[in-house]
Amino acid sequence: MSVTDLLLDLQAIDSTLDQLHQRLAAVKADQHETDELIAARQARAQTEQQARQRRAERKDLELAAAALDDKIQQAEKRLYSGLVKNPKELLDLQNDIHSLKRQKTTTDDQLFAAMLALENAEDAQTRAAGDAARIEADWQAAQARLQTAAVELEADIARQTAEQQTLRASLGEAHLALYDQLRRRKGGLAVVEMLGNTCPGCGVRATANVLQQLAQGGDQYARCGNCERILVRP
């Protein structure tokens, strides 16, 4: 196999490796928590916190209502016990009972509102938990697919790299030095197959001298007079 054929094969492998590395980088870039997942987790945490607050509010109001019931019972028991004889003291006791009952009515209303608020908060918590579970399951499945793709790409890269090293070992240092220099300068494309009499790397028609070099073949390769890439006849 001629030097130009070896260089063309090396170019094909290097171009393939460039594509594989780009695809692997894109796959790895996608291996992260999505905005949707983060938002779903935050929503779940917020609704859990809101539900806890509503439960605490309901509990406080239940305790307050129970305490008022106890005070009302104690006051009514004293009122009707016959132990209180003083008219003013009886009137004060009746007023206290009326005040406690008004407080109890207000507290009962607040407790009812708190129970409704808790029910709504728990419904929101259930919905947020379901949404988060669904989104996380989808994300986990996507991550599994990405991981599989990454493993396959890494295996392809390893195979192509082995072939690359075999080809490079078949080429002399001078050929490799020129090839690597052109790869760096020409966006990764150092060797191109002619399209008719035109260099596909830059679109410029080859000169008669370059066409003569191509016709001679052998290990002497021709280079584009415009972009300097190595030219190969298909």
Predicted pLDDT of residue 233: 86
User: Is 231 in contact with 192 (CB distance < 8 Å)?
Assistant: yes
Judge residue 47's burial from the number of C-beta atoms within 10 Å of its C-beta, 0-12 exposed, 13-18 middle, 19 or more buried.
Answer: buried
Token couple for 121: 């908060």
CB-based contacts of 228, cutoff 8 Å, min separation 6: 182, 186
Condensed to tens digits (0 to 9), the pLDDT of residues 91-101 reads: 988 999 999 99
Tokens of 166: 């075999």
Q: For residues 24 and 86, state if they share a domain.
A: no
User: Domain end: 133, 162, 191, which one?
Assistant: 162
Look at residue 219 in the predicted model and tell me its pLDDT. Answer: 66
pLDDT < 70: residue spans in the chain:
217-219
Distances (CA, A) of 134 to 14, 106, 131: 42, 42, 5
pLDDT at position 206 is 94
Domain match, 117 and 225 both: no
> Do 112 and 196 lie in a common domain?
no
Rounded-to-integer distance, Cα 49 and Cα 162, Å: 56
pLDDT of residue 218: 65
Overall domain count for the chain: 2
Asked if residue 194 and residue 151 are part of one domain, the reply reads: no
Whether residues 21 and 74 share a domain: the answer is no
Residues 38 and 7 in one domain: no
What count of other Cβ atoms lies within 10 Å of the Cβ of residue 161?
13
State which of 162, 186, 217 marks the end of a domain: 162
Distances (CA, A) of 103 to 93, 108, 118, 224: 15, 9, 22, 97
Tokens representing residue 220 in the block? 């002497």
54 and 129 belong to one structural domain: yes
The residue segments making up the domain with residue 155 are: 31-162
